[in-house]
Amino acid sequence: MIELKACLAGEAAVMLYLQQAPGPDCLSTLHAFSQQLQQRYADAILELLPSYHSLLIQLNPERLDPLQLMAELPKAIPEYSADATGRLIELPVCYGDELDDGPLDLIEVSRFTGLTVAEVKRLHQSQTYLVYAIGFAPGFAYLGELPAPLRMPRRATPRARVPKGAVAIAEQQTAVYPAASPGGWNLLGLCPIPLFQPELAGQAEAMPFRHGDQVRFYPISQQEFIRLGGDSCWAEL
């Protein structure tokens, strides 16, 4: 039996928490829950926003009272876990040792983990990552889980500016910064592919991935990075 906890999240939303450790099984359960809720309350749900082990349910209060939904949620517990395997997204990475002014944080990551730079790159590319959540900034996907030998804490002092497209790791996760912003993750390289298109905001095409998709990285040269539209803003670091 799946255990859950629900609470109000404003006047027209309910936050649902699964009493289940974040991971592939939890992600599958969230997808099954989302399917059940969409079927039961299709005319009342405005948006479903899943994360690691939670689901924000935004409602039209004129069609369904949030308190009523909270009372009925146990009836929506799925008897199965839906297949949460999403699309496979492949993203190119120009790693720091390929950049003229590299190597970003590759040397620090190598020293901390005891791996060579080549091993850091190989391990980062070896995994197929799940999109567990999208947040912090539009198009910023939290991808997990990193291979255990690559895991390390965030930087003690965050950067005031991380360049657009920076591919980074922290703890058990990896991510790509969709726009220039402050950040404290350890930078391995740069990705030239746009991860958020503001002119398409609100549409599925605004981002290349969604919750539950899979992501793999593959290496490219600096020449290929520039050919694919990569910006040389890495030189400002």
d(CA 173, CA 196): 20
Per-residue confidence (pLDDT) for residue 86, from 0 to 100: 78
Peptide bond preceding 145: is omega within 30 degrees of 0, i.e. cis? Answer: yes
Assigned domain for 24 exists = yes
Identify residue 69 by its one-letter amino acid code: L
Last residue in a domain, options 28, 56, 76: 76
DSSP string, 126-164: HPPEEEEEE-SSTT-EEEE---GGG-BPPPSS-EEEEPT
Say if 138 falls within a structural domain: yes
Helix 106-113 crosses helix 117-126 at what angle (to 10 degrees)?
90
Q: What sections of the chain are H helices per DSSP?
A: 24-40, 66-72, 106-113, 117-126, 222-227
- 16 and 110 belong to one structural domain: no
Mean pLDDT for all residues in the chain:
87
Residue 83 falls inside a structural domain: no
Mean pLDDT calculated for residue range 1-5: 76
- The answer to whether residues 72 and 157 belong to one domain is no
Of 43, 76, 109, which residue is a domain's last? Answer: 76
Rounded Cα distance between 73 and 51, Å, is 18
pLDDT tens per residue across span 39-86: 889 899 998 888 888 899 999 989 999 999 988 887 777 665 555 567
| Whether residues 22 and 67 fall in one domain | yes
Q: How confident is the model at residue 200 (pLDDT cuts 50, 70, 90)?
A: low
Cα-Cα-Cα-Cα torsion 196, 198, 200, 202, nearest 10 degrees, comes to 90
| Residue 81 belongs to some domain of the structure | no
**pTM (predicted TM-score):** 0.83
Nearest to 174 by CA among 213, 215, 234: 215
Would residue 205 count as lying in a domain? yes
Tell which of 29, 53, 76 closes a domain.
Answer: 76
User: Which residues on neighbouring strands pair with residue 187, listed in sequence order?
Assistant: 168
Are both 47 and 112 inside the same structural domain? no
Whether residue 59 is found in the same domain as residue 119: no
Predicted confidence band of residue 94 (pLDDT cuts 50, 70, 90):
very high
What dihedral angle (degrees, nearest 10) is formed by the CA atoms of 197, 92, 90, 18? Answer: -70
If asked whether residues 142 and 45 sit together in one domain, one would say: no
Q: Is the same domain home to 17 and 105?
A: no
Task: Indicate if 227 and 153 belong to the same structural domain.
Answer: yes
**157-180 pLDDT, tens per residue?**
999 999 999 999 999 999 999 999
Residue ranges making up the domain that contains 133? 88-236
Confidence at residue 221, expressed as pLDDT on a 0 to 100 scale? 93
